[in-house]
A and B are shown apart, each in its own frame.
Chain A
């Protein structure tokens, strides 16, 4: 379980996050949704400790990440996988080297075992025969999938995905969603996903937090979200033709 307790974060006079408290449960796909620029990425970076929060704290199963030593943070980070919004693959390395990278750094497995793990992870994200390619030779969606494979290669306890399916076609995007929720259940991971894709929300939203202008506006799940009478949330949810028809 990951808990954000009263966290605030600003850049100069731009108050991006305002007193957000939320909890993210293990074995569930926890979604953070909100408009572009609402602060989803910043919230996620605060959760993983890439940004220091101005106020409040973030706890991983009771362990407060803000006042940890470098060594302790390092131990937590080995249990953590993250998919960045822009994939963030190492562009000097091949796909195989990218996925193997965390294993090379932090495991004592033999090369064959590592390779087996790499192929297993690539297989999970539906990628074949790409081992030798460089990130620059991949399509946007393939990059995302390689990044997911890299994020899960160490069997993380906590998985963070920043817009795993932006820029993907609906089918691949559905596959990625299913993959994330399957992995979450299978390994009882605590998964946090940023998205503004309503398909994902209705597909895998076990627990949803709606961020509106840096504030936590609404919490619930995929069934409740269609019935809420919260105005801002309704505007967000029923903004597409498809969801309007749903109503």
Chain B
């Protein structure tokens, strides 16, 4: 690599500071924000739904499979599925998937603007490009991803219910009772904090990787891959840090 870790961290911080300036035109910012709600949020609902339903089903099955002691009530299946989905599966796994989907999209969009000099053209006009290009994406993801994760939790729990309804591992009544058992709102808060931080990581890291593409379309591809890899690694690391801070 041409530059070291500190170079990238410094340049990343400068870029994000530039991005968080006041937009030149509020109206333009809002219209971009709404476009990103669609691009980053609405367009991701499909994949989030598919992953979540299977994820919830598998978690429910595995839990049922693991409970072989008659001393443990079968309501534990619903309870454990709920806890695992809220605490880990929805916020972390879905964010990782979004890092792949949204991250590569952002990096290649901004990267191709870089190599075709569109970013220079913005600059020449007196527009602040990071602010114009990256801020709406960061903001949109930090607002819309929590909604996606809530949807994901709902669908995953429904996936678990399907297992209960279609197999004889656990009865739907037990499953539902387990879902309602000893619910602590703090777990949802924890999930939302993680989601928002992950959303920031995904959009800002991919924005950075796209913004500093040097070369041509080949490098745009390389950098979008890097965007996905780096944001995934950061998500895993911050998952640990946030869990340490919020749950222990």
Complex interface residues of chain B between 87 and 140 (CB less than 8 A to chain A): 112-113, 116-118, 120-121, 123-127
Q: Which residue of A lies closest to B122 (CB)?
A: A90
B43 part of interface (Cβ distance < 8 Å): no
Question: Which residues of chain A are near B123, meaning CB under 8 Å?
Answer: 50, 77
Q: Which residue of B lies closest to A104 (CB)?
A: B28
Question: Which residues of chain B are near A45, meaning CB under 8 Å?
Answer: 120
Complex interface residues of chain A between 150 and 197 (CB less than 8 A to chain B): 154
Complex partner residue of A84 from B24, B25, B28, B121, CB under 8 angstroms: B121
Complex partner residue of B126 from A74, A88, A89, A104, CB under 8 angstroms: A74
Contact A88 to B118, CB < 8 A, known contacts A50-B123, A78-B126, A106-B126: yes
In the complex the two chains form, is B28's CB within 8 Å of A88's CB? no
Q: Which residue of A lies closest to B117 (CB)?
A: A88
In the complex the two chains form, is A104's CB within 8 Å of B25's CB? yes
* A88 to B113 alpha-carbon distance, docked (Å): 8
Question: Which residues of chain A are near B118, meaning CB under 8 Å?
Answer: 88-91
Complex partner residue of A102 from B112, B116, B125, CB under 8 angstroms: B125
Complex partner residue of B24 from A81, A91, A106, CB under 8 angstroms: A106
In the complex the two chains form, is A48's CB within 8 Å of B126's CB? no
Contact A77 to B121, CB < 8 A, known contacts A91-B116, A104-B28, A105-B24: no
Chain A min CB distance to B207 (Å): 16
Q: Which residue of A lies closest to B127 (CB)?
A: A105
Interface band, chain A: 20 to 34
In the complex the two chains form, is B124's CB within 8 Å of A50's CB? yes
In the complex the two chains form, is B124's CB within 8 Å of A105's CB? no
Chain A min CB distance to B123 (Å): 6
Chain A min CB distance to B187 (Å): 40
Q: Which residue of B lies closest to A79 (CB)?
A: B126
In the complex the two chains form, is A48's CB within 8 Å of B124's CB? yes
A220 part of interface (Cβ distance < 8 Å): no
Complex partner residue of B116 from A48, A88, A106, CB under 8 angstroms: A88
A43 part of interface (Cβ distance < 8 Å): no
Question: Which residues of chain B are near A77, meaning CB under 8 Å?
Answer: 123-126
Q: Which residue of A lies closest to B18 (CB)?
A: A70
In the complex the two chains form, is A101's CB within 8 Å of B116's CB? no
A82 part of interface (Cβ distance < 8 Å): yes
A209 part of interface (Cβ distance < 8 Å): no
Which 6 pairs from chain A and chain B are nearest by CB? A77-B126, A88-B117, A88-B121, A74-B126, A82-B124, A84-B117
Given contacts A45-B120, A90-B118, 15 further A-B contacts (CB under 8 A): A50-B120, A77-B126, A78-B125, A86-B116, A86-B117, A91-B116, A91-B118, A102-B125, A104-B28, A105-B24, A105-B125, A105-B126, A105-B127, A106-B126, A154-B125
Name 10 interchain pairs, CB-CB below 8 A, sorted by A.
Answer: A74-B126, A75-B126, A77-B126, A84-B120, A88-B116, A101-B125, A102-B125, A105-B24, A105-B125, A154-B125
Which residues in A have some Cβ–Cβ distance to B below 8 Å? Answer: 45, 48, 50, 73-75, 77-78, 80-82, 84-86, 88-91, 101-102, 104-106, 154
